Amino acid sequence: MEKVAVLGAGSWGTALAIVLADNGHHVSLWGRREEQVLEINEEHRNERYLPGIELPETIHATVKVEECLKDAETLVLVTPTKAMRDVLGQLKPILSRPVTIVHASKGIEPGTYKRISEIIEEEIPADLLKAVVVLSGPSHAEEVSLRQPTTVTVSSENNDAAENVQDLFINQNFRVYTNPDVVGVELGGALKNIIALGAGLSDGLGYGDNAKAALITRGLAEIARLGTHMGANPLTFSGLTGIGDLIVTCTSVHSRNWRAGNMLGKGMALDEVLANMGMVVEGVRTTQAAYELSKREQVEMPITAVLYDVLFNNKGAKQAVDDLMQRTRTHEVEDVSSLKG
Ligand SMILES: NC(=O)C1=CN([C@@H]2O[C@H](COP(=O)(O)OP(=O)(O)OC[C@H]3O[C@@H](n4cnc5c(N)ncnc54)[C@H](O)[C@@H]3O)[C@@H](O)[C@H]2O)C=CC1
Ligand SMILES: O=C(CO)COP(=O)(O)O
């Protein structure tokens, strides 16, 4: 059993802390607010992020990053993508020996178009980094905290590190696979949030299951198109971190991205939606990043492009769906010759 530092006491950080504590590890959870830390340590609850869940008493929360990191060889980063560089900047001066950094966040950085593992490698000097491991897959915190069956994938360029992290997290309710395709695992997890916003928007407009199935399927096509262009293995997109996470995020009321899209589809303004949510909606910034990246790389992403206009150019939700339905007719699969015997 080892000490694990979890940085980010929101819904996902707390749910992952529960998995680690259930596995007998000593978990130190870093939160930003004193009253939240007190609530976790004294009442064993984190009501704002995981209402009604009793936390294992062995989870110890702290606002002090030094205390959280002390004696931990594995750090689990679970803050919103937007906060990553800031958090890594706070860790860097404290680290005195190499650590494994696992991240479980899902996003791409606007402007740089970097994946989170790339941001970690940029911010933390190589001599302080044993390995970077990504943890991703269809896993809502609300269900993980109830110990409901969940599967995820861990991915790293360092296979031993991926297997160590698999060992740390795996238990009878939380099954962990490995996959060496870091690019595919990270891009699948980040880009599905865009499509989940679209699925929520479609539901908010009152459209049905046909529309949602279309969004999931054509969404997967554009995720795989950008992903393979960026170097991912296309097979990864048929796995847990591709279609698996798309299904859960596009169909679950737990999804923050689906819920945000749903409110937009019902006519609420983006500012109001985000103010209402009180939790991170990663798909908004990732839509901006993916839209710009797809333009730069000349990769067609029609769903991402109309959502970009809904989020940032005041396009109406219904108009967005009409635009998608009225695109120039085309083949379903780009390389049609590959379908012929
Ligand atoms: N909630 C879920 O079920 C899942 C979430 N994720 C991913 O995990 C990441 C975190 O998501 P959630 O836990 O849902 O978010 P959340 O909104 O529930 O919590 C975010 C936490 O990060 C903290 N935070 C924000 N800015 C910070 C900063 N600058 N410095 C330090 N802490 C900061 C907040 O105080 C809060 O505790 C996201 O990338 C999300 O896509 C991935 C899988 C499942
Ligand atoms: O990534 C998730 C589930 O796998 C969580 O998605 P949301 O951020 O949309 O809730």
174 Cβ below 6 A of ligand 1: no
Catalytic annotation, residues: 192
141 Cβ below 6 A of ligand 1: yes
> What's the angle, vertex CA 131, arms to CA 125 and CA 133, rounded to 5?
120
Given this model, what pLDDT does residue 1 score?
86
Alpha helices in the chain, H assignment, sequence order: 11-22, 34-38, 65-69, 84-91, 116-123, 141-144, 159-169, 182-204, 209-229, 245-251, 256-265, 270-277, 282-297, 302-312, 317-325
CB atoms within 10 A of CB 63: 15
Mean pLDDT of 58-76: 97
Domains and CATH numbers, the chain: 3-180 (3.40.50.720), 190-329 (1.10.1040.10)
| Interface predicted TM-score (ipTM) | 0.99
Token pair 């819920």 in the structure block, residue: 259
Q: How many Cα atoms sit within 13 Å of 173 on the Cβ side?
A: 16
Describe the crossing of helices 182-204 and 317-325 by its angle, rounded to 10 degrees. 110
> What's the angle, vertex CA 325, arms to CA 319 and CA 328, rounded to 5?
115
Here the tokens at position 256 are 């923050």
Q: Which ligand number lies closest to the CA of residue 188?
A: 2
pLDDT at residue 155 greater than cutoff 80: yes
In Å, how far from its chain's centre is CA 283?
9
pLDDT digits (tens, 9 = 90+) for 275-300: 989 899 999 999 999 999 999 999 99
Here the tokens at position 164 are 């160590």
